[in-house]
Every structure is written in C-alpha cells, then in structure tokens.
Structure 1
Amino acid sequence: METVEANPITRPTYDVAQIMGGLYGDGIIGLKGAFSREWAQQLGEDITRLYEEALKRPGGALGRGPKRHYVEIHPEDIRGFVDLATHPWVIAVCEAVLGPEYKIVEIGFDVPNPGAVNQPWHRDFPAPDDTIVGRRLNSLAFNLTTIDVTEDMGPFEVAPGTQWDLPIGFQYGMFPPKSNSPRYEQRAQRKMPQLGDISARSALTIHRGTANYSDKPRPALVLGVDAPTANNAERHDLQITRAFYETLPENLTQHLTCRLVDELEPIVQGHTIEGLMMGEA
C-alpha cells in the first residue's frame, strides 16, 4: 500500500485515475496510516467486546470456516464509525468507482482465530451483470485491521486482476473450480497491514484467508458500499437508532441505506457462505 501525501491547504486530494486504475486493475488498493494507531486500537477494543457478545448470542456469529467467524454489527456499536465513513480517502474511492450516489450497506468484522485453516479461493458473492456484461464494478469492501498483521497470523491473500474472471464452473457463482487454483497461487499476494492502514477491494477479486498459526486472533473490520445499481443491501440489515441518526452529518446520512429504529435489534446473520465451512479441500 502506498502512502498519499496530504494537501497542506485543504483536505487531502486523491488521484481518481490512480484509484480507478488500482481497483479496475489489481482489484485492491490501500492507504497506509489513514488513522492513528490509537484510533485503530480503540476499534480493536470495540470489536473484542462485540465478538464476545456475539458468541454468546444464538446466531450472533456466522462461521466462515473452522475457527473463523463473521459478525455483522450496528454502526453505532463502534466509536469510530463517523471517522471511518467520512474519511476523505474513503469518500474519494467511493465517488471515483461507485459514483456520487454510493450507499453504505454493511458493517461487520471477520475474525480468523488461532487454528483457522486456509479458506478455499472464492468471491464474497456472485458477480452481477454489471461486472460480467457491463465490465463495471458496482460495489466495494473496505477493510481495517485491529492488529499488526504478521505472516503467521493467517493474512488475507488475493489474486490480483481476477475480479474480471467469468464464473465458468464456479460453484454458487463464488467458488472457482480447483483447476483454477494454480493460476491464483501464481498471482497470490499476502497482505500484512499495520494498525491505522485501510484497504479497498472488489469483493469479486478471488481471495482467501490463510491458516492462522499464531496464538492470536486477527480481527478486521469490513465496510460494504454499493453503487445505485447494486443490491447487496438485501443481504444485510443496517440499523441505526433515530437518536444516533440525528447526530450524523448530512454528508454521511445521504450515503446510508439503513433502517431507522427506536432501539437496536439483534442482527440475524443472513449472508451465510456454505462453501467456506469446511476450509480448503
């Protein structure tokens, strides 16, 4: 990930061509030091608490393979939601790739625990017609680590450029045939972000979590964002209390697809990915 210099006069400016070139090319880009280490450590504290609560609640955490979970949360469950959703780089990336009417549709976190095994190569959901036919990306996933990632922690592994692969022989439209694996392994890049770093990727770029040989979990926050033509909001239940919503800046509320409630309701985890449950075959 490359560090982008801040504009000393106004808010930071980012090169649209570089953003689009990265996401339409490799399918993943990043910004080092987007947040302070202290901010990221606070996020880690919130996620640790939320994970413990989710594990105690029926249906609170979805399996993503052996010793690996995904938990969808409420925006106001973390103290840094507004900082994240209004970060100039996040806004610039969303506007560049998804257009000015982008919508935040999901927030959650992944936790590969000690003993987690290699996931099979996969996409997070089937490629839409916008991508298969129109050759456009209509959604993005932002990721933030809550720990300094090392090689033994089961780092995220991605096969650059594979967001454009046609889903020929893909099980559920998400899991490519084993015959494709040598190509992915040849391209594979392991990502080892540090506290404060952020990345943006197409969830269609073929990727996997790798085996966690360490004695530590590797939590990572996920923020899902759609263009107007995407329908990923149907897979999620983004809730915000009316009281919290009233405190949010307008440049954020106009980019939320959410359900306003008086009191937050437990999220029924709905985006099950059955093909991940057994790990790599």
Structure 2
Amino acid sequence: MVGKLGTANFTEVDIDRFAEDLNRDGICVIRGLFDSELIEEWAVAFDALFQKRQQQPGGVAPRGTARGYVTLPWVAPFANTAVFANQTILGILERVFYQEYKLVQLAADIPMQGSEYQEIHRDFRPLFCDRIVTPLYALAVNFPLVEVTADNGPFEMARGTHVMPREEGLVKIRAREIAMEQFFMQPGDVMVRSPLALHRGTPNRTPQPRPMIVMGYVMHWLHTHKVDLTLGQDYYNNLSPQLQQLLRCQTVEQLPEEARETYVNFQY
C-alpha cells in the first residue's frame, strides 16, 4: 500500500516509522500528506463557519483567553472520506491500536490574537493510575488550515511524557530534562499524537486566527460523552459498511442549523 493524497508518497516502511515515533515519543508528524487545494477549500469554509458560530450563543467553546473550539458540521468540504479515512492515517492507527477503533470527533482549536499560554495538561486521564503505563487508547490527528509559525500559536508538547506519571513529567519539564517542543507546520502537514502527552497551546500574536483541525480516534470501548458526530441519514446510508463501522455517530434526517458546544472541560 502507498498512501497518496498530497505532495508526498508514503510506503509501508514510512508508516511503520510513523507508528514507531508515535509509540516512543507520543507524536509523529507527516509532512505534505494533504494537497494544498484541499486545505484551502477547508480554510475558506471554516472562516465562514467560524464567523457564523461566533454570533451564536454557545457556538464556540472556550479554551482560555481568546482561544476557542468549534465542532465541524458533517457537510462538504469537511465530510471527506479522503481525510477522515485517509489510508496513511488509518495505517498508523492500525499499527498502534490493537482492537477496533472509532472516529468520534471532528473539530477545530482556534487561538486568536490575545491568547495566552495554556497550563500544561493532558486531554485524557490514564486508564487506571499513573503507576501503570497506559497504552495508546485514544489519539488526536491534527492538521492546520494555515501555516503554523512561532508567532501564531504553535502546539507545544513534551515528547515521551505519555508513558510517565503526570507529576514526574512536570518535574522533568521544570528541570528542563525534557523540552516543551513547538511544532511548526505547513498547510498539508499532519500530526498524530497521544492526548496523554503533556502539552499546551501557546499565544497567537498575529491578527489572524490559527485554526487547527482535530480528528479524535479512540478504541471502540471508550465512552466519549464530551464529543459527538452527527451525520445526515442519507450521507451515512451511502457510506460503505467499513466506513460506517469506523464512525461513532448519531444520524438525523436533517442537520441542525445551529450548534451549542458542550466540550468545555478538557484539561487533566
């Protein structure tokens, strides 16, 4: 298998390496996976959606000062099998998830001008306790709709902290034994990361919002009450059985015009 959608081709050996990076570091970065035209189409549609959601009560979930979170509607261009069921991404997931998994989240994180450093946090708790290493049971797949630079709020993470107790990781970060690394990205780049790795959002010092798409994939048994996917019944019916199996969603005859965000508590 070769995964091709953007400017880069990825072989099975490449995908093996991405999976190794993810297991070891809690993150891997795939350069040039998506085509620039696809990203531009998403960016235009997102700008219109974000302006609309900002006018709706509860349409944007707070993520700190001048930082928001928006669930994307399951419509074009966001409802794209070449993105949420991309073969390179699924190839990585199949190497690190050892049971069936589900897509449960399609949204965007948006730091704006005036945003600040978030507290260093995790997005999930460990399965049991910090003394027992938690396997990769949930993953975030992120890709930006604009170039991510040092000025517009790059994602920052400490590699390897997904397999250590939270307090141990924080002590090592404070002692500078582990660096908080910023990840600069071009449109088309994709990162796959463990939400258990210690990370934070950084300030966007530019006048333009910096939308970062997040697709959340989890092991099939994980309860995910904070996020949800809502699909039109006709769209769902036209998917293959394999794609229907990938999605954990509710179906409706007609998608709602307005959405109220409920994913507010996100730090652990």
Q: What TM-score do you get using the length of structure 2 for normalisation? A: 0.88
- The equivalent of 1:156 in structure 2 is 155
Q: 2:205 aligns with which of 209, 213, 221?
A: 213
Q: 1:240 aligns with which of 231, 234, 239?
A: 231
Q: Deviations over 1:176-227 (max 9, x none)?
A: 86x5651468411111110111110001111111111122211111000011
Change beyond 3 A, Cα 1:245–1:80: closer
Judge which range, 41-50 or 248-257, deviates more.
Answer: 248-257
Change beyond 3 A, Cα 1:195–1:66: same
- The equivalent of 2:240 in structure 1 is 249
SS in 2 for 1:76: coil
Contact 1:127-1:204 at 8 Å conserved across structures: yes
Q: Distance in 2 between matches of 1:37 and 1:83?
A: 14
SS in 2 for 1:157: strand
Amino acid aligned to 1:31 = I
Pair 1:197 & 2:189 matched = yes
Change beyond 3 A, Cα 1:183–1:150: same
Q: Distance in 2 between matches of 1:107 and 1:76?
A: 11
Pair 1:187 & 2:179 matched = yes
Change beyond 3 A, Cα 1:115–1:108: same
Contact 2:133-2:163 at 8 Å conserved across structures: no
Pair 1:223 & 2:215 matched = yes
- The equivalent of 1:45 in structure 2 is 44
Change beyond 3 A, Cα 1:55–1:4: closer
- The equivalent of 2:91 in structure 1 is 92
Amino acid aligned to 1:273 = N
Structure 2 residue runs without a partner (length 5+)? 1-5
- The equivalent of 2:3 in structure 1 is none
- The equivalent of 1:110 in structure 2 is 109
Q: % of aligned pairs identical?
A: 27
Structure 1 residue runs without a partner (length 5+)? 170-175, 277-281
Amino acid aligned to 1:253 = Q
Q: Deviations over 1:68-88 (max 9, x none)?
A: 000112332534521111211
Change beyond 3 A, Cα 1:78–1:100: farther
Q: What TM-score do you get using the length of structure 1 for normalisation? A: 0.84
Pair 1:6 & 2:5 matched = no
RMSD between superposed Cα atoms in Å: 2.6
